[in-house]
A and B are shown apart, each in its own frame.
Chain A
Amino acid sequence: MTAPQQPNSFRTGPDERGHFGIYGGRFVAETLMPLILELEKAYAAAKADPEFKREMDGHLKNYVGRPSPLYLAERLTAHFGGAKIYFKREDLNHTGAHKVNNVLGQIMLAKRMGKPRVIAETGAGMHGVATATMCAKFGLDCVVFMGALDVARQQPNVLRMRALGAEVRPVESGAKTLKDAMNEALRDWVTNVGDTFYCIGTVAGPHPYPMMVRDFQCIIGDETRVQMQEAEGRLPDSLLACIGGGSNAMGLFHPFLDDRNVEIYGVEAAGHGLKSKHAASVAGGRPGVLHGNRTYLLMDADGQIEEAHSISAGLDYPGIGPEHAWLADLGRVKFLSATDKEALAAFQLCSRLEGIIPALEPCHALAKLGEIAPKQLKDHLLVINLSGRGDKDLDSVAHHLGGKL
């Protein structure tokens, strides 16, 4: 296969039919198609409306607490003895992760479209918590679908969602994780098309979701540009983020895609290892069609989707956003992977050296610092997206580390 031609800009996608190269698209049942077209129109109108932006900026500042700091991690920098390591502190947002940036936008859109009921799927529970939070704030009904296995391993988030007035529906089908929660959410949506808004948590699903979620998350990278200019007087040299569906990564990466000197690394979850059970769809998958889009998927020879595995519920998904798939093929984003064990080690290192307990998801990105940072000169500026805080993972980490926590 020849390498795809490099575009003049990496930031103009998708095309009007939702394609990023061969990826993306709108692979949904007919019942949903009119809704998706309606959503596309409503989003385009909101995007063009200065009042929508003004209101959103107000909530981002006063409710979410943005801008999130760009923090120089001095002890980690000294520990690796190479690149200057900055954290983009998405863990400090209200609700404790980057998810809220996107959810705010979608819930404002739901309100604007007159939909009284919101559904969402969730893996680690961070997107579910963010959706429950915004539904409480905006007075909408909220139902969150969550794999029964994730309900068990992320109890604190289940309780948070319930406290916020959302109904959490455990999903017992399939592997009982994020993929199955998404199937169930789609089934609910098909059934309740009239009054329901589906708030997707990542840069995946049918067009316009990958584009819309990306746009809402781009605030991460936009702020980083400004903050790094203020701190160092120039752009960063490299960016690093974990990727499940890939919304935190896309939010950081996208504003820098056309700055060709900025190296960009996405880190997938290698679970027990790439030769065993994992969730690294670029490293171990191939293009297929699931959940409304074409993208890299983990599957068997017959096109049946395989169960992913990661210690991090938020990365435990057998696919990836279609724009990431495209960027991977073009080589603009370099894909790495980190195992469960490497993520756990990074969890401990970051907690003890920086006094920041990271979620297990960004621990996959932190785990690659040892490969990237030491090779760099001391003036190399590296930004890692610290996409969420780790309180939700303490039980799980304690369990995996035995008595060693």
Chain B
Amino acid sequence: MTTRIDQRFAALKSEGRAALVTFTMAGDPDTKTSLEILKALPKAGADVIELGMPFTDPMADGPAIQAGGLRALNAGQTMIKTLAMIRAFRKDDDATPIVLMGYYNPIYIYGVAKFLVDAKAAGVDGLIVVDLPPEEDEELCLPALKAGLNFIRLATPTTDDNRLPAVLANTSGFVYYVSITGITGSAAPDAAKVHAAVTRIKRHTKLPVAVGFGVRTAKQARAIAEGAEAVVVGSALVGALKDSLDKKGKATGKTVKAVTSLVAELAKGVRGAKQTAAK
């Protein structure tokens, strides 16, 4: 089975450059604007798209993404609308991988079997579910793999060499290395430490490694991209979106552009990196 994720990473490897993975929240600040952003991301330079499924209790997220999720929920975002956004995106783009990211309860309540069928049909390629460690693989990971979706696992600084094989066992698509112990959007990671960690993970897997949590600027993105196959940026994009809103938290004429120009800047950073990890 190859997914759009596998294909995209293979293509980038032959180009010899790292990927920019963007995270935005589905339905933030409303479904229509969020879809416009989604459609504009590939052209702005996103190689892989992570789309957040909003949840009331995002325990691993910092203030920026918490607020983005609440804006989406207050504007009436639901799982059905999130999947519809992806179907709409797929009408024009059949190549850019989309990874849904979030927490388990909204999927569990939607119904795991139905969710996997609907997500696959909508054009979803992979899932990142923060509160499903390998210990709970039977819940969603194994059924998702069977349904032809990638299940992307987070590895963290606390995932030591003894535990890495368990974490990587059912991981596919790529490995998401969480560069800090903390919540999204907190302290910037130290590039040298991150590269050492990526090297450690690569001893256990052939999968591409993406690095995220705390990356905000093109310069940081570039530094990280020198030693990893992909850089994930989320809180900075959600923060840029927020800064473009009016006083009532509604989208303005600047909202889409606020996100895409930051993506373009970050893409330049990532593409300027001298890649070593992929070789």
Contact = CB atoms under 8 A, between A and B. Distances in A.
Interface in B85-137: 103-110, 130-133, 135-136
Given A183-B57, A190-B60, A289-B131, A30 B159 contact: yes
Contacts, number: 112
A192 B187 CA distance: 13
Interface residues of A, number: 35
Given A186-B59, A288-B109, A303-B110, A17 B135 contact: yes
Interface string B131-164: 1110110000000000000000111111110010
Interface string B171-199: 00000001001110010000000000000
Interface in B208-262: none
Nearest to A172: B63
Contacts of A173: 66
Interface residues of B, number: 41
A154 B53 CA distance: 35
A370 interface: no
Nearest to A180: B57
Interface in A68-105: none
Interface in B35-89: 55-62, 66, 73, 78-79
Contacts of A187: 59-62, 183
Contacts of B60: 29, 31, 186-187, 190
Given A190-B181, A191-B182, A29 B109 contact: no
B59 A30 contact: no
Interface in A225-266: none
Contacts of B273: none
B167 to A, nearest CB: 7
Interface of A: 17, 25-35, 173-174, 179, 183, 186-187, 190-194, 288-292, 297, 299, 301-305
Given A27-B133, A31-B157, A190-B181, 14 more contacts: A27-B104, A29-B154, A30-B153, A30-B178, A31-B182, A33-B133, A34-B163, A187-B59, A187-B183, A193-B181, A289-B108, A290-B105, A302-B106, A305-B56
Closest 9 CB pairs of A and B: A303-B109, A303-B106, A191-B182, A31-B156, A27-B131, A186-B59, A305-B56, A33-B133, A303-B105
